[in-house]
Amino acid sequence: MEFRYLGNSGLKISEITYGNWITHGSQVENDVATQCVRRALDLGITTFDTADVYANTKAETVLGEALKDERRESIEIFTKVYWPTGPGGPNDSGLSRKHIMESINGSLQRLQTDYVDLYQAHRFDVETPLEETMQAFADVVRQGKALYIGVSEWTADQIRQGHAMAKDLGVQLISSQPQYSMLWRVIEPEVVPACEELGISQIVWSPMAQGVLSGKYLPGEGAPEGSRGADKDAGGNMGDFMTEPVLTAVQGLKPLAEEAGLTMPQLAVAWVLQNPNVAAALVGASRPEQLDDNVAASGVTLEPDLLAKIDEVLGDVVVRDAGQTDARAPKKRPT
């Protein structure tokens, strides 16, 4: 396992980071989830990412139980706040001071820890003054409940504003967590340059484009039984990629992966790690053995000619529009 600094900080994280979105507390039984976490640790993964909204807080509980016997100083635990939790009351979502303060306490209790290494704004809250949000995050850090702060799916302008306020408040905003893959490159035109300038790293989710870059979804055929695409809940997030042009283009990556001596998932994960602004690729698992394949992408260097061939094969199915980050952002606080 290779390790990278997270932003302009001294914190090192495993470049393959374990995430438990749509698995723990929902798709996967708790004992299997624990087995996956144990396997991640055995493979050298030290960094674990979750959020209070995943399975409506259950994912944090499962992760906390799985990690409770680990030496706390030897692992990094990340979580997030924004989306609705609990019964869905008027203050059960967003980035108000009230919700942030209540949410960090709930997360720490479920994770069975005194602090998280990184506390992230899961989206930008258009209904709360940014000053209020950043002051609350700064207070969470000063109280020792989080060491660093980060954001997820913020635009470049929002990141700049948040970073400036954090700096004035004396706390470190060091990370951005966007979707990023061979097929979804919307952060490259604006978010990445801004973050490089500010000393902020990317922790990218869905490096395999919801599993489409594994190559298991074939054009003209239905999703394989038991796959994410066949799951009525999880599959709803895959609309950008489950199209005939995309699935056809992805099949063209198979000979490139074979030529490089990699599996399709390894190629996908290694690809995002070629971006120097990426500190880690988030991977999940519904079975422990899936992690063995993903972790093998750590430390892999893809040659420039291979990267060029990937671009040629995927062609115009790649989404590069920087405006997609703002277009998909919540326009009001969710309930």
Q: What is the pLDDT of residues 5-33, one digit of tens each?
A: 999 999 999 999 999 886 555 555 778 88
Sorted by sequence, the CB contacts under 8 Å of residue 132 that are 6+ apart come out as: 95, 96, 97
The pLDDT score that the predictor gives to residue 235 is 46
- 54 has catalytic annotation: yes
Q: How many domains does the chain have?
A: 1
Regions of the chain where pLDDT drops below 50: 235-236
Indicate the pTM of the whole model: 0.94
Q: Is residue 189 part of a domain?
A: yes
Question: Can you give 243-264 as a three-state secondary structure string?
Answer: CHHHHHHHHCCHHHHHHCCCCH
CA atoms of 215 and 256, how far apart (whole Å)? 12
Longest dimension (CA), the chain: 55
Residue 101 is assigned to a structural domain of this protein: yes
Q: Compute the distance between CA of residue 20 and CA of residue 12 in angstroms, rounded to an integer.
A: 20
Q: Pick from 194, 149, 206, 167: which is nearest to 11 by CA?
A: 149
Within a domain: 334: no
Rounded distance between C-alpha atoms, residue 13 and residue 281, angstroms: 11
Among residues 297, 299, 291, 269, the alpha carbon closest in space to that of 281 is found at 269
- Which residues neighbour 146 within 8 Å (Cβ) at sequence distance 6 or greater? 104, 115, 116, 117, 118, 119, 137, 140
Contacts of 12 (CB under 8 A, 6+ apart): 3, 4, 5, 6
CA distance 195 to 173: 10
| b/e sequence 87-104, b meaning 16+ C-beta within 10 Å | eeeeebbbbbeebbbbbb
| pLDDT at 28 (0 to 100) | 59
Q: How far apart are CA 119 and CA 51, in angstroms?
A: 9
CATH value at residue 86: 3.20.20.100
pLDDT at 238: 66
**Can you spell out the DSSP letters for 254-313?**
HHHHHHTT--HHHHHHHHHHTSTTEEEEEE--SSHHHHHHHHTTTT----HHHHHHHHHH
Give burial (CB, 10 Å; 0-12/13-18/19+) of 285: buried
Residue reference for tokens 């674990």? 48
Asked if residues 126 and 332 have their Cβ atoms less than 8 Å apart, the reply is: yes
Does residue 332 lie within any of the structural domains?
Answer: no
Cα(171)–Cα(70) distance, rounded to whole angstroms?
28
The two structure tokens encoding residue 112 = 């069975």
Selected catalytic residue, list 54, 119, 148, 217: 54
pLDDT digits (tens, 9 = 90+) for 227-271: 555 555 554 456 789 999 999 999 999 999 999 999 999 999 999
Q: What pLDDT is stored for residue 232 in this prediction?
A: 56
Instruction: For the chain, state the CA radius of gyration.
Output: 19
| Contact criterion met (CB below 8 Å) for 205 and 280 | no
Q: What is the pLDDT of residue 260?
A: 96
> What amino acid occupies position 282?
L
Q: How many helices (H) and strands (E) does the chain have?
A: 12, 10
Q: 55 in a domain, yes or no?
A: yes
Distance CA 200, CA 202 (A): 7
Instruction: Determine the structural domain holding residue 284 and report its residue range.
Output: 3-327
Supply the pLDDT for residue 227: 55
Distances (CA, A) of 137 to 148, 204, 329: 9, 22, 21
